[in-house]
């Protein structure tokens, strides 16, 4: 299991090299989140985080996923700081015996990281700056697990 | 007792600082909120709608009725938007 909270960018190919490589892994899934600009006005996004709590919160989520889907490997990278449209914000990767477990665990990780990992996004656009509000749908998504 | 109080995102902006050490005898998070609100309007503004706030005690998410005995750090912030 690897957890990293960092300001630097990451290289997907490098990160996934050797990920989950063991005889009982039959499937790996990876997801990468990017900074999206829906309106064409976004200059950048500021991602604030709670350093002390981040590692513990993400580790707890990753441990739960690892146990529940018997993952053979699990990886979470989440960036903070100033990010521009198209930049990578975060990624998760899961390795399991079968693809269903790998996909489900990746979705679980994403759902929980969205509303239980201490990050806050502020969008800075041409027209001003505003904090991204959490959506009810994000909280509801946890209920399916 | 002394407790480090941390603020994030718009809570931090409304309070005007990211953290402070507070001398308090509050028994619960809610008592601490009431003490802070009584201090200055900026706290009143930051804590005006508790439904839009979350709290972590010693870096673990909890509820506003959580006890503060032996606690070192309390953090207030809006619902998280990770991912």
Domain residues for the domain of A96 are 2-129
Contact residues, chain A, for B73 at CB < 8 Å? 52
Residues B6, A48: C-beta atoms closer than 8 Å: no
Q: Identify whether B51 is part of a domain.
A: yes
Asked if pLDDT for residue A140 goes beyond 90, the answer is no
Nearest to B81 among A50, A110, A119 (CB): A119
Q: How many separate domains does chain A show?
A: 1
Q: Identify whether A143 is part of a domain.
A: no
Instruction: Determine the number of helices (DSSP H) and then strands (DSSP E) in chain A.
Output: 4, 8
Residues B75, A56: C-beta atoms closer than 8 Å: no
Residues A119, B82: C-beta atoms closer than 8 Å: yes
Q: Identify whether A139 is part of a domain.
A: no
Q: Identify whether A142 is part of a domain.
A: no
Contact residues, chain A, for B75 at CB < 8 Å? 50, 53, 118
| Complex confidence, ipTM | 0.94
- Mean per-residue pLDDT, B13-29: 96
Q: Identify whether A54 is part of a domain.
A: yes
Paired strand residues for B42: none
Query: For B24-81, how does the pLDDT look when each residue is reduced to its tens digit (9 = 90+)?
Result: 999 999 999 999 999 999 999 999 999 999 999 999 999 999 999 999 999 999 999 9
Query: For A83-111, how does the pLDDT look when each residue is reduced to its tens digit (9 = 90+)?
Result: 999 999 999 999 999 999 999 999 999 99
Say yes or no: A52 contacts chain B, CB-CB below 8 A. yes
Q: Identify whether B49 is part of a domain.
A: yes
Q: Identify whether B83 is part of a domain.
A: no
Q: Identify whether B14 is part of a domain.
A: yes
Residues B59, A52: C-beta atoms closer than 8 Å: yes
CATH at A56:
3.90.1170.40
CATH at B38:
3.10.20.30
Q: Identify whether B31 is part of a domain.
A: yes
User: Model pTM?
Assistant: 0.94
Residues A131, B56: C-beta atoms closer than 8 Å: no
Q: Identify whether A47 is part of a domain.
A: yes
Residue from A82, A88, A87, A89 nearest A124 by CA: A82
Q: Identify whether B23 is part of a domain.
A: yes
Q: Identify whether A144 is part of a domain.
A: no
Residue from B81, B68, B76, B83 nearest B19 by CA: B76
DSSP annotation of B47:
T
Round to whole Å and give the CA distance between B30 and B27: 8
Q: How many separate domains does chain B show?
A: 1
């Amino acid at each position: 299991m690897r957890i990293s909270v960092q300001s630097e960018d990451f290289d997907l190919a490098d990160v996934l090299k050797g990920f989950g490589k063991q005889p009982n892994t039959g499937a790996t899934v990876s997801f990468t989140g990017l900074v999206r600009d829906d309106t064409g006005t976004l200059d950048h996004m500021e991602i604030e985080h709670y350093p002390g709590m981040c590692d513990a919160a993400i580790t707890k989520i990753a441990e739960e996923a690892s146990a529940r889907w018997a993952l053979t490997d699990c990886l979470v990278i989440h960036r903070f700081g100033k990010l521009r449209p198209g930049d990578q914000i975060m990624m998760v990767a899961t390795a399991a015996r079968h693809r269903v477990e790998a996909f489900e665990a990746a979705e679980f990780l994403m759902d929980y990281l969205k509303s239980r990992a201490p990050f806050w996004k502020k969008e800075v656009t041409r027209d001003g700056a505003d904090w991204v509000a959490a959506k009810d749908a994000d909280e509801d998504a946890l209920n399916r697990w | 007792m002394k407790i480090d109080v941390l603020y994030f995102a718009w809570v931090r902006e409304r309070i005007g600082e990211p953290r402070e050490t507070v001398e308090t005898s509050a028994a619960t998070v809610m008592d601490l909120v009431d003490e802070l609100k009584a201090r200055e309007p900026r706290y009143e503004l930051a804590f005006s709608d508790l439904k839009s706030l979350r709290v972590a005690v010693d870096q673990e998410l909890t509820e506003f009725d959580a006890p503060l005995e032996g606690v070192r750090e309390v953090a207030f912030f809006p619902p998280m938007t990770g991912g």
